[in-house]
Amino acid sequence: MFKLKPAMATILFTILHFLVDGICALVIFSSLYDDDKTKALIIFLVYNIIAFCTQPFVGLLIDKYKNKERLFLIISIISLILGIIFKFQYIISAILLGIGNSFFHVSGGKYVISKTNNNIVSLGVFVSTGALGLAIGTNIHHLSIWITFISIALIITLILLLSKDISVEENNISNELNLNQNWILILALMIIAVVLIRSFVGKIIPLDFDKPIWVLLLIGASAMLGKALGGVIAKFIGINKTIIITMVLSAILLICFNSNLYLSLFGILLFNCSMPLTLYLINDLFKQKEGFAFGLLAAFLVPGYLFGMFNYPIIATKIMIGILSLLSLLLVIFVNIKMNKEKKAD
């Protein structure tokens, strides 16, 4: 075995995040889905419920059994491999892919959070790559993509498994919050609300232009860059200024310039900047329970997406984007101010 520095392990987990989401999308969209709408609905619900809604419970498991990261990574990769092998049994495949996705995201997220001491830049970079992986896996099904994604994922997994230390240590985040259980619940619900909004708005954005494959890939790339840049911007100017600037500008662009490809892409980028902010805040709220915190936010992406699947009139969509962007802004600022106040009081 060899020593793998936390920074390098974080980079490998980030690349693996891109590949895991890409592989799941590849299998689902190129092998499981067909013209049967009932079958497609079953696959969608089974996969997403297992992949996302189980993450808080997987997080509790990972928080409890520390130093078992190799085991959780092995469970994830074996489940994904079996999901590929059983791709002709669509329910079994969807279940296995969901299990693999859930275990990877929470264990990888827990590692990055703990090893970087909840560094907001690292959080943004780690969560960002999945968006591009999904975009590629959903829209490009060439054999070369299959071979590349699976081969690199197996190589990275082998490197991580052979390294001496990929275990999660107790982080040393300072400034414990002096909050009672009621306030913790209230603040958690506020952060969850922002995640719900981001998922919902991401689904209903009215993009009034043709969307060939290259545009769909650009949309995924924009979401990825937004999640990565959100943490970087917040590192320099703070969470409050970041959420104000990005939410206001993104609302203007997505409402008023939805027929312009490049302004819309910039709006999508800015809107996704809130991702690392919410993850940073929830981790700060649930110290030493980062697996549960990460999974909790992931679980609430599903209802937001489901609500966004309904057909809304274009004017209603634009009004909702404006109102919900403002609400996200206010919620993040309130949570951040309240938590910083309690840190100082302590």
Kindly tell me if the per-residue pLDDT of 23 is higher than 90.
yes
CA-based R_g, the chain, Å: 19
Instruction: Kindly tell me if the per-residue pLDDT of 195 is higher than 80.
Output: yes
Residue 60's CB is within 10 A of a number of other CB atoms, namely: 16
- What pLDDT shows up at residue 35? 86
Q: Contact 239/328 with Cβ under 8 angstroms? A: no
Is the pLDDT assigned to residue 162 strictly greater than 90? no
- Please say if the pLDDT value at position 6 is more than 90: no
More confident site: 69 or 205: 205
Does residue 147 surpass a pLDDT of 50? yes
Identify the three-state secondary structure at position 206: coil
Residue with tokens 């951040």: 336
Closest CA to 166 of 18, 2, 288, 343: 2
**pLDDT band with cut points at 50, 70 and 90 for residue 167:** low
**Is the pLDDT assigned to residue 226 strictly greater than 90?**
yes
CA 341 – CA 336 distance, rounded (Å): 8
- Rounded average pLDDT over 313-342: 96
Average pLDDT for the chain: 93
Question: Buried b / exposed e across 205-243, counting CB within 10 Å, b at 16+?
Answer: bebeeeeeeebebbbbbbbbbbbbbbbbbbeeeebbebb
For residue 342, what pLDDT is reported? 81
pLDDT tens profile 280-290: 999 999 988 99
pLDDT, position 9: 87
pTM over 0.85: yes
- Contact between residue 275 and residue 226 where contact means Cβ atoms under 8 Å apart: yes
What is the pLDDT, as a whole number, of residue 345? 61
User: Would the pLDDT of 170 be above 80?
Assistant: no
| 344 pLDDT higher than 90 | no
pLDDT of residue 174: 47
pLDDT at 288: 85
Indicate the CATH number of 181-345 among 3.40.50.150, 1.20.1250.20, 3.30.70.100, 3.50.50.60: 1.20.1250.20
Q: Is the pLDDT of residue 314 over 70?
A: yes
Say if CB 116 and CB 9 are below 8 A apart: no
Residue 142 has pLDDT above 50, yes or no: yes
CA-based nearest residue to 59, from 284, 303, 302, 294: 294
The predicted model gives 164-184 an average pLDDT of 68
CA dihedral 10→11→12→13, nearest 10 degrees, is 50
Find the mean pLDDT for residues 328-342: 95
Q: How far apart are the first and last CA of the chain?
A: 43
